Amino acid sequence: MTSRRTRLRLLAVPLAVGALLSGAAPALAGGTGAGPGQGGPATADVVTTTRLGGQVAALTFDDGPNPHDTPRLLEVLAENDVKAVFCLWGDVVRQNPDLVRQIVAAGHTLCNHTMHHEDLATWTPEAVRADLEATSALIREVAPGAPIPYFRAPYGSWGQSAQVAADLGMQPLGWTVTIEDWETQDADVLTERLESRIRANPGAVVLLHDGPVMDRSGTVEAVARAIPELRAEGWRFHKPDRRG
């Protein structure tokens, strides 16, 4: 990956973006209509919660798949019977088609994360649409028929992409909680952040990473430790809301 992308990742502000645009949009080919969350067609509102009450959270993983860490992550999720959302980077999908198929076969949900992981802040709607359509086409080339109900903008920099994604039937997906796993891969630190921040934010969409920009073994270990602890306290894991 280029040094520019790495710098942008390190400089990204780890905050939920909130709603940028309003109004319902028709669900078209990109997201196959009403999705697997709490119901309704895609809108241009950036969803950041599960819209469920009580001790519930949604785990989402960006920038993958990664042949070094995603297989172990899939094992951890399977061992704990947790389904997650994987936000796939097109360039990486092209390099790891078998891993995409493994994600789909395990019953996880896919999210379009653009082809080249670029900042979309100043892109025209036409350019955004071309990129998102190409990314979805690539994902479906390696995993035919797989629904792609969500879209997440790289770095949380939406520009006009939220409306474009909704027009394509994909719900823009933000987050409430992040553990800054681009700053450290110390499993002890990440586990504490993951557990404490989920506890403090019931219903949260949690941003994590399994992409190949850096080692992600600490993130995977944090997930492996945190899920049983939270489950013992009564926490459940669910998909994000389908609409804003």
Neighbours of 23 (CB within 10 A): 9
Q: Give the amino acid at 201.
A: N
Q: 57: Cβ–Cβ under 8 A, 6 or more apart, which residues?
A: 50, 177, 198, 201, 202, 203, 204, 205, 206, 230, 235, 236, 237, 238
Q: What letter would DSSP give residue 154? A: G
Structure tokens at 117: 């992981």
Placement of tokens 């681009």 in the chain: 182
Burial letters 50-88, b for 16+ CB under 10 A, else e = bbbeeebbbbbbbbbbbeebbbbbbebbeeeebbbbbbb
Backbone angles phi, psi at 59, to 5 degrees: -95, 130
Catalytic residue from among 108, 113, 117, 209: 209
Peptide bond between residue 125 and the one before it cis (omega within 30 degrees of 0): no
Known catalytic membership, residue 62:
yes
Closest CA to 136 of 148, 150, 152: 148
Known catalytic membership, residue 113:
no
Placement of tokens 């520019």 in the chain: 4
Report the largest interatomic distance among the alpha carbons of the chain, rounded to a whole angstrom.
48
Cα 86 off chain centre by: 5
Strand, helix or coil for residue 188 = helix
Catalytic residue from among 62, 131, 167, 210: 62
Q: What is the spatial distance between Cα 87 and Cα 113, in angstroms, rounded to a whole number? A: 5
Question: Which residues carry out catalysis?
Answer: 62, 209
